[in-house]
Amino acid sequence: MSVSPTLTEDPNGRRRPRVEAAYEAIKAAIREGEFPPGFQGSELAIAERLGMSRTPVHHAIIRLQAEGMVELHPKRGVVISALSPKDMREIYDVIIAVEGMAAMLAAERPGGERHGFCASLEAINAEIRKAIESDDLERWAELDGRFHLRLVEGAVNRRLEQIARVNLDQSYRARRLTVRLRPRPVHSIAEHQAIVDAIRIGDGAAARDAAQAHKIGARDMIARLLQSYQLFRL
């Protein structure tokens, strides 16, 4: 993995500073297992591995430590935090609360805004259907994460989005490990659509309930898989 040592672009084509680029690069390496739980190394070694300079990596690691994704030790350097099944359940509990609130707030937006937002969710859901039909579960996991992040963005609440991003990144680690162990997620398409339908008609309570029920099901399924396959260190 190599990232420009100066500036890079975000998915919208905007230029972003080195610290943000370093933060996203390290977080992606943790999410995708390039830096697995328990991995340790110096800031310099991580910077060299990413093709970046040390200063932005240092600031990015401080931020990731505050989010619970890494730990800093005087002699061991940077250590990637491991998550237990209990940690993962707590993460999902936060996501359930945040996404329920986000769906309700999205449903309270003006009608024109709601319809455009719902169209963007349905476009992602259509791609999810294609991924499931082609049995591309890795692609499904990526798109599913995109759907849920877009859902939270629809609340237009910066603080809510910050909380969601941290916990969605953490939950992705469990989904990546279990993606081939779980039943094909065919029900996710209809469950997503139920959220979208409630937002479109402006029914905040129904949108909240649909979003929370969807994530409660995901939490319980992940918990069963982690226990069944004895995945105690994520």
| Per-residue pLDDT at 143 exceeds 50 | yes
Same domain, 129 and 22: no
Confirm whether pTM is higher than 0.85. Answer: no
pLDDT of residue 140: 93
Same domain, 106 and 175: yes
- Domain at 161, CATH number: 1.20.120.530
Phi and psi at residue 75, to the nearest 5°:
-105, -25
Same domain, 112 and 155: yes
Cα–Cα distance for residue pair 157/53, rounded to 1 Å: 33
| Per-residue pLDDT at 116 exceeds 60 | yes
pLDDT of residue 177: 82
DSSP labels for 30-70?
Answer: HHTTSS-TT-EE-HHHHHHHHT--HHHHHHHHHHHHHTTSE
Same domain, 118 and 211: yes
Same domain, 109 and 213: yes
| Per-residue pLDDT at 68 exceeds 90 | no
Q: What are 1-37's pLDDT values in tens digits? A: 444 433 444 545 444 588 999 999 999 898 888 898 8
Q: Which of 21, 50, 80 is the last residue of a domain?
A: 80
Q: Which one, of 73, 13, 171, 31, lies nearest residue 1 by Cα?
A: 31
Are 88 and 174 contacting, i.e. CB atoms less than 8 angstroms apart?
yes
Cα–Cα distance for residue pair 208/203, rounded to 1 Å: 9
Number of domains in the chain: 2
| Structural domain containing residue 32 | 8-80
Q: Which of 80, 114, 136 is the last residue of a domain?
A: 80
Same domain, 72 and 136: no
Same domain, 122 and 212: yes
Q: What are 156-184's pLDDT values in tens digits? A: 999 999 999 989 988 888 888 888 888 88
pLDDT of residue 16: 54
Are 205 and 105 contacting, i.e. CB atoms less than 8 angstroms apart?
no
